[in-house]
Structure 1
Amino acid sequence: MKKSLIALAVLAAAGSASAQSSVTLFGIVDATLMWGHGSVSNKHQLGNSGYNSSRLGFRGTEDLGGGMSASFWLEASVNNDNGTGAGTNTNNQASGNALAGLAGGQGLTFNRRSTVSLAGGWGELRLGRDYTPQFWNITVFDPFGTNGVGTTQVLNSIITGVTAVRSSNGVGYFLPANLGGFYGQLQYYMGENNSNVANKDDGNGYGVRLGFASGPFNVAAAFSHTDYSTGNVSQNNVGGQWDFGVAKLMGEYEWDKAGATKGRGGLIGGLIPVGPGEIRLAISRYKTDVPVGTDPRTNKWALGYVHNMSKRTALYATYAHVSNKDGAASSLNGAVTGINNSSSGLDLGIRHSF
């Protein structure tokens, strides 16, 4: 009898513990028919991630009591047009690129995010691979969310290298959500080199982002620094959004440095709801100031429409055009264009989330 009672007590405790935890499988499959036109060559292909980045992920949270929780997040890029995964970077340096020197496609890696966290009323401590603070303003205040042919030229031409979007080996802190609209994060990431090598500091860096959101208004600024023996990198930006109801106005300004080279750019755009869908439009540019020679610059405009068939399924179309000056040769959707020439691109696709 006593053994039966003990067994029931153990089962009850296990049931209580499991009720306080959750694990979720999630993902996005986004297929894109892509056309690119350039002065040298054109390209037609089936790609992915024209509206949202295709991904497969697992996340879970455990309630630790007293307002504390522990969680994990593992998220991998998926190239659903050919079944491969996407490359990652292990040390915030060129030597850490998973595809460097390898033939064929990349296997599945949790390159988008791989973190474990501890959170409470004091905020969140997050460890692992994640977005850098200096990237958030670029994507949040881009009407195209830095996906597809409409992606802001600030990101397409950016000079800051490996840590422009994500960092590995990071230790991050996020402010709690109850600060009257203020939000922010700090992140320190490591290149993990030995102390007795000339490039011992390569890949070490930090970023900080602070913002304020209240009602229709949202504004944020971000600053960062990454060490490299070939020339340190800084990536800095401010961005904002105002929701007028009939439309959202968005903007971002960027100033960067990589060694002796400087980069400056910006975007202005908007989102206009139309029935079950949304019109997206943006004008962006990026200019590189090099120590010797001309200063390449690229201007871009993009126009798109998203039709939501349900909360999980959407059809979309985006057209974009870039013009290059002073030695730039940026092109769209895999096309090749000559120096100081233009390029155009078209995306037609379907996105399904789960």
Structure 2
Amino acid sequence: MKKSLFAVAAMSAVAGAAQAQSSVTVYGILDVGFINSNSSVTASAAPNTPALGANGYSINYPGNGTYANGNLKQTQSVLGQSAEQTSRLGFKGTEDLGGGTSAFFTAEFTLAPNEQTLSGNATGGLKNRQTFVGLKKNGMGDFAVGTQYTPIHVAMAKTDAGQQNNLTGSAIYTGQADSGVVGGVGGNQNAYTTRVSNALTLNSDVVAGFQGHALAILNNNNASSITGGSNNAPASGIATGGMTNTNGWGLGLDYTWNKLFVTANYQALKQLTSTTNYNSYNGGTGTGGSVSAAQLFANASSTIATGMTATGSPVNIQDNQTYVAATYDFGILKAYANWVSRKANDTANASIYQKRQAEQIGVRSFVTPNIEGWATAGVGTFTPYGVNQNSAHFNAWQLGSNYWLSKRTNLYAIYGQYAQATTAYNVYSTSGTATTGQSNMNVSNFALGVRHTF
């Protein structure tokens, strides 16, 4: 009897220990406050229709409408959200599997504090920020599968003096879409791809100060192509099937030595569609069309492209991105230096591409035990339409401060500016007559708010 009682007690103790080795954490951020935004675009010889182009640039391809000088201004003041950091709700957990091996998961979603319903009536619901599951082996590293941040975005989080806030003023990180403020226009959009789905990531343990990172993306779909018309087939002139393949890879390497941190990262994303039903750059439909050069970055970021019926995914794009950065902690302040480059090609027409390059420096420091401040300044160039087309030069700067009420709650004030000027370009009337033009853009954001983490 005593042996049976001892056996039951031992089994209960083992079960209790196993449960204690598994944990789930609920976490999140709520960020709300006052946001003021101003933007202006002035252009000579700009088309009135379409206004100033899909991304704030004057479009230099033939189209409908008359052409004249253009001036677009927009001002917004709102008690808004997510100025310093995107509001979110997340769940993460780990389970000890024994032998130095553990399982882990994360499921994280965007929150919109000003939406009227939990699912969101304007933002489309709880948008997936990252959701993945993986395994970790002590002494080796970990791997995970799911929707995840790219190596460049993870490296940027470690090396951004502004800590990836959503206001204008950074030449490297451009996250205005999360806050909905005015300013996500022109060459300051889409410096790199933030997250990808259908992804496998690998992270090594730190060895002699070095840590490696890798990314692989796989989402391929190949089917027979049908172009005819009959009772059992699509209507004549509509193409279906074919190849819709999305692949990518990335590598990153971090090095830490005392107070110095250096990171270098590269990622290449490619999508090929051989047959689909979308409008090409030249306005046709059917097989193997190319995309509008003005939309290459938007497509590569999985955003709907103007004039295309295919939505939500990139089409025929090779997208190469590089990020190099370093930080050094001087004690009284931390210094930052960043460089990013991105080139997206239309695979159906190699002469059409977009290229963006920028460099930035910054500092961050605690002025008092409760007051933290930062400053960043950067410059860059943007080529929106390809070879022998108009390019743009831009600069951006930002000042910000946090007043920490506790470890989880802070008040913040952030101000940022972005300015851009294009080189001379041609716009065309419907008759094909070319007129030389130039455009300039100025954007500023200001925010006062409160952020709470839990």
Relative to the length of structure 1, the TM-score reads 0.84
Separation of aligned partners in 1, 2:249 and 2:33? 35
Structure 2 residue aligned with 1:252: 338
Identity of aligned residues (%): 31
Which of 339, 342, 348 is 2:442 aligned to? 342
SS in structure 1 at match of 2:84: coil
Q: Which runs of 5+ in 2 are unaligned?
A: 41-72, 175-186, 225-240, 273-315, 346-352, 425-437
Separation of aligned partners in 1, 2:396 and 2:23? 44
Q: Which structure 2 residues correspond to residues 282-321 of structure 1 after superposition, within 5 A?
A: 282-289=376-383, 290-321=386-417
CA spacing shift, 1:352–1:14, aligned 2, 3 Å: same
CA spacing shift, 1:327–1:108, aligned 2, 3 Å: farther
Separation of aligned partners in 2, 1:344 and 1:158? 12
Separation of aligned partners in 2, 1:184 and 1:34? 39
Structure 1 residue aligned with 2:375: 281
Alpha-carbon contact 2:83-2:166 (below 8 Å) kept: yes
Task: Pick which of 284-293 and 255-264 moved more.
Answer: 284-293
Which of 185, 189, 195 is 2:213 aligned to? 185
Task: Pick which of 192-201 and 228-237 moved more.
Answer: 192-201
2:227 is the counterpart of 1:141: no
Structure 1 residue aligned with 2:97: 64
Which of 80, 85, 100 is 2:113 aligned to? 80
Alpha-carbon contact 1:142-1:267 (below 8 Å) kept: no
SS in structure 1 at match of 2:271: coil
Deviations 1:232-273 (A, max 9, x none): 010101001011111111011111110022221111111021
Separation of aligned partners in 2, 1:16 and 1:321? 55
Q: Which runs of 5+ in 1 are unaligned?
A: 88-102, 329-337
CA spacing shift, 1:240–1:83, aligned 2, 3 Å: farther
2:87 is the counterpart of 1:54: yes
2:131 is the counterpart of 1:114: yes
2:298 is the counterpart of 1:205: no
Larger radius of gyration: 2
Separation of aligned partners in 2, 1:255 and 1:193? 30
Alpha-carbon contact 2:169-2:397 (below 8 Å) kept: no
CA spacing shift, 1:167–1:158, aligned 2, 3 Å: farther
Separation of aligned partners in 2, 1:188 and 1:325? 37
Separation of aligned partners in 2, 1:231 and 1:66? 44
> How far apart are 1:309 and its partner, in Å?
1.1
SS in structure 2 at match of 1:190: strand
Alpha-carbon contact 1:159-1:263 (below 8 Å) kept: no
Q: Which amino acid aligns with 2:24?
A: V
Deviations 1:110-169 (A, max 9, x none): x221111111121101111111012233333221122121552333346768x7000101
Q: Which amino acid aligns with 2:406?
A: S
Q: Which amino acid aligns with 1:352?
A: H
> How far apart are 1:292 and its partner, in Å?
3.8
CA spacing shift, 1:60–1:52, aligned 2, 3 Å: same
Q: Which amino acid aligns with 1:18?
A: Q
Which of 152, 155, 167 is 2:173 aligned to? 155
Deviations 1:34-76 (A, max 9, x none): 1011231200112222222211111111111111111111111
Alpha-carbon contact 1:128-1:169 (below 8 Å) kept: yes
| Number of aligned residues | 326
Separation of aligned partners in 2, 1:68 and 1:261? 44
SS in structure 2 at match of 1:17: helix
CA spacing shift, 1:46–1:312, aligned 2, 3 Å: same
SS in structure 2 at match of 1:164: coil
Separation of aligned partners in 2, 1:152 and 1:9? 59
After superposition, the CA RMSD in angstroms is 2.6
Separation of aligned partners in 1, 2:392 and 2:242? 32
Structure 1 residue aligned with 2:365: 272
> How far apart are 1:3 and its partner, in Å?
7.5
Separation of aligned partners in 2, 1:183 and 1:86? 39
